[in-house]
Amino acid sequence: MEQALSLLKQEKWRIIDQSSLGPHFDALQSFAMDDTLCTSVGSGYSVPTARSWVHHQTIVLGIQDTKLPFLEDGLNYLEEQGYRYIVRNSGGLAVVLDEGVLNLSLIFPDTEKGIDINKGYEAMWALIKQMFSDFEVTIEAREIVGSYCPGSYDLSINGKKFAGISQRRIRKGVAVQIYLCVSGKGEERAKHIQQFYKKAKKDAETKWVYPDIRPEVMASLADLLHTHISVQDVMLRFLTALKEMSQQIFSEPLSGDELGWYEEYYKRIIERNEKFV
């Protein structure tokens, strides 16, 4: 864990806060942003960067989800429930984003030795534990069976998952990404993914393994901490934790070469999505 903490202790953290852009901020833009920042940080054009983002009523699918035999039936269900959907360019399976879910990305340069994949995950886990250290709870990192997009770094309290971590590595940059179910009902979100898989897979045999969703194993931080907590509250905790671990945090939007990289990555992810859905 000490090695993971050393990743967080950067001299400077650049902050890009996109948590309050509203319902017209599309999730495809977010994934193009993180690819841009990987390129920028990996090349030394930018210092390590922390980005926050919120998307309204969006289901983010993994590439594996696009192989479901009755995908169209599943997508129709999501549309009927008022959700948009996109296919992300990193690993994993379907997750739910809405105004009660805060996403955080930490973008580091990959050193010559390389950042071990677990070290990236543990850095994010350490950050979340630091952010909520004033609560008398244990935040565990282990797979929560029955959750959506299960993984060995699911974050949970008392066996209920409230967050999942993924990684994206390109151009000598590493983006460690987390979704935090801050408020709202984690169980209700899970029910939508449960229904999506029921309709998109039915009883067909598939090459890929898809999760058997148990909605009761998922919850929001507000429920798990027994307190009213908002995305804005968690944003303050996020910025405070980064400030404590660095000499300087500063806000700076994309500029210069980054604008051209962003256009290119955005175009790529749109084209990729057109193939899938």
Instruction: Report how many domains make up the chain.
Output: 1
- The span from the CA of 124 to the CA of 228, in Å, is 23
What's the rounded Cα separation, in Å, for the pair 65 and 93? 6
- The pLDDT assigned to 64 comes to 93
For residue 161, pLDDT beyond 90: yes
Catalogue the active-site residues.
149
pLDDT surpasses 80 at 260 = yes
Q: Residue 181 has what pLDDT? A: 98
Residues counted in the chain? 277
pTM of whole model > 0.85?
A: yes
Range of the domain at 71: 2-276
SS (H, E, C) 7-41: HHCCCEEEEEEECCCCCCCCHHHHHHHHHHHHHHH
* pLDDT for the residue numbered 276: 77
CA distance 168 to 176: 7
Residue 14 has pLDDT above 80, yes or no: yes
pLDDT in tens, 89-129: 777 899 999 999 999 999 999 976 777 888 999 999 999 99
Q: What three-state secondary structure class fits 182? A: coil
DSSP assignment, residue 134?
T
The pLDDT of residue 112 is 64
pLDDT value at residue 1:
64
155 contact partners, CB below 8 Å, separation of at least 6: 125, 128, 139, 140, 141, 161, 162, 163, 164, 165, 178
Backbone angles phi, psi at 237, to 5 degrees: -65, -40
Nearest CA among 155, 169, 189 for reference residue 58: 189
On whether the CB atoms of residues 37 and 265 are closer than 8 A, the answer is no
pLDDT of residue 154: 97
For the cut 90, the answer to whether the pLDDT of residue 180 exceeds it is yes
Mean per-residue pLDDT for 46-54?
98
Looking at residues 1-25, what average pLDDT do you find? 90
Q: What is the pLDDT of residue 171?
A: 87
Domain with residue 169: its CATH number is: 3.30.930.10
Query: Is the pLDDT score of 201 beyond 90?
Result: yes
